[in-house]
Amino acid sequence: MMSPLEKRHLQVSTGLFPSDKINILPFNRPFTQQVDVVFPEDPELHSVLSKLETRYSKGKTTLSSVLKKAGCFSGSNLGAIMVTPNVAGASSDLWCIDPRGVATLCLSKEAYEIIGITGRPLPFKGQSDQHVIQIPLNSADASEGGNAAAEKEAKTKRSGTKGYAKQKAAIEDWEKRRAARDGLDAWEVVCCSADPTQAPEYTGFNEAPKLTKVTCSQQKLLNVHIPIPSFKPRSVLSKSKKPTAGDEDTEDWDRDALELFEWAGLAILGSPR
């Protein structure tokens, strides 16, 4: 008998989705990496894939500067901004702006207590000292032209706070303390565009950012095992019925899902397995 899938780290969707549904899935569920496994069937498709490219900007800015330019996250070409965590001497605190226009801060207990904005601790074992705060930037009171849905989402996520202006002030005070105490006056960030053919629109860098073009790299592997998934929608149990140990259909489905994710991980590493 195998253990069930870890629901906090893994999501499996089955069935056929229209293209517009697939396009919005990444924006509703932010992640740090996306892997697309594509099997071109003819030289023309192979040529199209080889010409893919994107761009990103790298520079320094403050989160306060980003929040002051919240309007640029509403209906613009700006894709995302993320702090680069591998900078020497940087703190363990991180933040990012995802393509939905939501600022997510992952902070140490000390920073979380200084800022004073309501968030929640990470649910992972051994990480309870880290706290997460989410601030919608494209809501009606964060920028002009907000819509009712964004405003409703903003009110929900700001439960326990006193509004966007006070959140900005709290973060600005925190960054001033970081600069005075630790000499960390800015964050090194990367910024990408929602349109991979265009340069990012964000203009709040402390100095001219470095624009980098990323082109498609190709690697050919021979005699590679390519699985043929035979997924069917997983049977849905009623709320009153819990899965029982030894349920063969559920265990078979979980095993197939794990094998597919294992194969995807090996594909990332370039393994011929």
- 180 with 244, same domain: the answer is no
pLDDT on residue 119 = 92
Residue 265 lies in a domain: yes
Cα separation, 152 vs 80, in Å, equals: 22
Instruction: Name the H helices within 128-163.
Output: 148-157
**Residue 184 or 272, more confident:** 184
pLDDT on residue 9 = 54
The residue out of 172, 192, 215 marking a domain boundary is 215
Q: Which residues touch 212 (CB under 8 Å, ≥6 apart)?
A: 55, 56, 57, 58
- 78 with 191, same domain: the answer is yes
- 129 with 245, same domain: the answer is no
Residue 25 lies in a domain: no
**Residue 142 or 120, more confident:** 120
Residue 48 lies in a domain: no
- Are 227 and 256 within 8 A, CB to CB? no
- 161 with 257, same domain: the answer is no
Concatenating the DSSP letter of every residue in 26-72 gives: HHHS--S---------SHHHHHHHHT-EEEEEEEEE-HHHHHHTGGG
Determine if the pTM surpasses 0.85.
no
Average pLDDT, the chain: 73
Residue 178 lies in a domain: yes
Cα separation, 66 vs 73, in Å, equals: 10
- 67 with 197, same domain: the answer is yes
pLDDT band at 264 (very low <50, low <70, confident <90, very high): confident
Between 81-95, 146-160, 178-192, 204-218, the lowest mean confidence (pLDDT) is in 146-160
Mean pLDDT of 237-261: 70
Residue 1 lies in a domain: no
Q: What are phi and psi of 160, to 5 degrees?
A: 95, -5
The Cα-based distances of 143 to 61, 73, 164 in angstroms read 20, 8, 10
- 210 with 190, same domain: the answer is yes
pLDDT on residue 158 = 44
**pLDDT at position 242 over 80:** no
pLDDT on residue 151 = 46
pLDDT band at 87 (very low <50, low <70, confident <90, very high): low
Q: What is the pLDDT of residues 2-33, one digit of tens each?
A: 555 555 455 666 566 666 666 666 555 555 55
Task: Give the range of the structural domain holding residue 190, as residue numbers without chain letter.
Answer: 53-215
Tell me how many domains the chain contains. Answer: 2
Cα separation, 30 vs 4, in Å, equals: 24
CA R_g for the chain: 22
- 147 with 75, same domain: the answer is yes
Residue 93 lies in a domain: yes
**pLDDT at position 154 over 50:** no
Q: What are phi and psi of 19, to 5 degrees?
A: -60, -35
Q: What is the pLDDT of residues 42-84, one digit of tens each?
A: 788 778 878 888 888 888 889 988 888 766 655 555 667 777 7
**pLDDT at position 245 over 80:** no
Q: Which residues touch 37 (CB under 8 Å, ≥6 apart)?
A: 264, 267
The residue out of 215, 233, 259 marking a domain boundary is 215
Q: What is the pLDDT of residues 157-204, one digit of tens each?
A: 444 345 888 899 999 999 999 889 888 888 888 888 777 777 776 777
**pLDDT at position 256 over 60:** yes
The residue out of 187, 215, 243 marking a domain boundary is 215
Instruction: Name the H helices within the chain.
Output: 19-28, 43-50, 63-68, 109-115, 148-157, 164-182, 248-268
Residue 76 lies in a domain: yes
Between 78-92, 121-135, 162-176, 220-234, the lowest mean confidence (pLDDT) is in 78-92
Residue 2 lies in a domain: no
